[in-house]
Amino acid sequence: EASDSDSAGSPPVKNKKMSEKKCKSLSVDTKYQIITAVDAGNKKKKAIADESGILPNTLSTIFKSRDKIVNAYHSSDFTQDCKKNSVSEHKEVEDALQLWFKSARNDNIPLSGPILPAKAKNLAADLGSENITVSYSWIERFKKHWNIVNKSICGESGSVDSTVVDEYITSKLPALLKDYELKMLAIKGENCHGGKHSTVMAVANMDGSEKLKLLVISKSQKPRCFKNVKSLPVDYKVNTQAWTTSDIFSEWVKTFDRKMECQKRKVLLFIDNCPVHPTIATLKATTMIFLPLNSTSKLQPIDEGIIKSFKQNYRCLLLYFESWEKAEINLLQAIQFVHRAWHKVTMRCVSSCFPKAGF
């Protein structure tokens, strides 16, 4: 072993070169030129790696992300300056993360906690930037550069009639709750739009001691990924649009009511006011309370942080999956992820959200 007192005074030249290669940061333009050289077929990959000052396995990683790098190079979102002279190290990762961030914000996806660094690592792997260290300071520099502040994403709060909300909290709600313990439940369905999507309905009680099994609605009666699966960790229903319907909702409420009756319980069920949530007159143990129109962002407890926590847990699981698997997630895996994400929503989180809605 060589030590500080060795007469050579420095590591062997070979190790120095290896170190330099490991520390090298490549712009999108450089990676594109490397891919072009490999495609030309005039030189061996090892020679191209040596000329570029990178290790052969780094070249392999870059070439595996060939399509994404070529698309990034030709994208209008990357100016010529960005391609050739990175303002900061791993500029291509920053630019890709910023584009993803804008898309996520448009979809109202909660982005606090570990989601940004997890996505940054995922994008770095896709772009072949395997030497990046996504530290707290790296994320903070990224947020400062793009003027990102830690504000929660609002839903419909701006359009809520504050008079309606105040009257409901001060007058109607106390009258409804006076004869009940902390066991009333709030129910919330989340419709997802786009290509492949499902709807998830979540139900939890006021003190957080009871989170019911999720209801998942999708398009396929028997998807291929369900083969040999004997049971699911959620209640699963099918609709051609993967949306909640009056029939699906009514069936769920009636089943829930029978369960409450068997347990000799009387419960209040707070529900968003929408056409697919009909009044059901035959219930014996359940009283359905419909929230005022256009008020759920203020009066629905599940909208006060429970859904946000659930979505954040799901996104973390999905990002972890994407960082290790290159295959597209299937419906069974998505169901397993939403089940785990719901399980990870804490009792404290649930119980703290009801007071925010006036309970």
Kindly tell me the burial class for residue 71, based on how many C-beta atoms sit within 10 Å of its own C-beta (0-12, 13-18, 19 or more).
exposed
97 or 183: which carries more pLDDT confidence?
97
User: 126 near 68, Cβ under 8 Å?
Assistant: yes
In angstroms, the first-to-last Cα distance of the chain is: 69
Q: Dihedral sign, CA of 238, 243, 248, 254?
A: positive
Measured CA to CA, the distance from residue 274 to residue 189 in angstroms comes to 11
Residue among 97, 146, 83 nearest 126 (CA): 97
Q: Is residue 155 a part of any domain in this protein?
A: no
At 206, list the tokens: 């006021």
For residue 188, what are its two tokens?
């919330």
Q: pTM above the 0.85 mark?
A: no
Query: Percentage of the chain with pLDDT > 90?
Result: 23
Residue 21 has pLDDT above 80, yes or no: no
- Residue 164 has which token pair? 């309606």
Please state, in angstroms and rounded to a whole number, the distance separating the CA atoms of residues 296 and 302: 9
Distance CA 213, CA 223 (A): 21
In this prediction, residues 335-357 reach a mean pLDDT of 93
Q: How far is residue 115's CA from residue 117's CA, in Å, rounded to a whole number? A: 6
Out of 121, 145, 169, pick the residue that ends a domain.
145
Query: Is residue 135 located within the same domain as residue 187?
Result: no
Residue 314 lies in a domain: yes
Strands 286-290 and 199-205: unpaired
Q: How far apart are CA 173 and CA 268, in angstroms?
A: 11
Confirm whether 118 is domain-assigned.
yes
Same domain? 138 vs 192: no
* Same domain (yes/no): 170, 312: yes
In a domain, 124, yes or no: yes
Q: Residue 304 region, left (φ>0) first, then alpha (ψ -120 to 50), else beta?
A: alpha
* Mean pLDDT score of the chain: 78
| Element containing residue 34 per DSSP (H, E) | helix 28-40
Q: Specify the pairing of strand 215-218 against strand 235-238.
A: parallel
Q: How does DSSP assign 172-209, residue by residue?
A: IHHHHHTT--TT-EEEEEE---SSS--EEEEEEETTSS
**Residue 307 and residue 325 in contact, taking contact as beta carbons nearer than 8 Å:** no
Strands of the chain, DSSP E: 185-190, 199-205, 215-218, 235-238, 267-271, 286-290
Instruction: Read off the DSSP letter of residue 211.
Output: B
**Higher-pLDDT residue of 156, 243:** 243
Q: Are residues 69 and 26 in the same domain?
A: yes
Number of domains in the chain: 2
Q: Are residues 67 and 183 in the same domain?
A: no
Structure tokens at 290: 């419909």
Show which of 111, 145, 179 is a domain's final residue: 145
d(CA 90, CA 126): 13
Instruction: pLDDT band for 115, please (50, 70, 90 cuts).
Output: confident
CA distance 176 to 36: 70
Residue 55 domain flag: yes
Same domain? For 214 and 278 the reply is: yes
111 three-state secondary structure:
coil
pLDDT category at 9 given cuts 50, 70, 90 is very low
Instruction: Determine, yes or no, domain membership for 284.
Output: yes
Does residue 173 sit in the same domain as residue 138?
Answer: no
> Which residues is 237 bridged to in the sheet?
217
Q: Domain residues for 299? A: 160-356
pLDDT at 5: 36
Q: Does 37 map to a domain?
A: yes
Phi, psi at 214, each rounded to 5°: -65, 150
**CATH number of 187's domain:** 3.30.420.10
pLDDT tens-digit map of 173-232? 888 888 776 666 666 666 554 456 788 999 999 988 999 999 999 988 889 999 999 999
Residue type, 242: A
Tell me whether residue 192 is in a domain. yes
239 and 294 in a single domain? The answer is yes
C-beta separation of 205 from 183 below 8 A? yes
Same domain, 205 and 247: yes
Alpha-carbon distance of 200 to 256, in angstroms, equals 16
pLDDT (0 to 100) of residue 171: 83
Same domain, 237 and 306: yes
Most confident of 80-89, 206-215, 240-249: 206-215
- pLDDT interval class at 152 (50, 70, 90): very low
> Which domain-ending residue is among 114, 145, 176?
145
State whether 184 and 132 are in the same domain.
no
The answer on 67 and 177 residing in a single domain is no
pLDDT higher for 348 or 106? 348
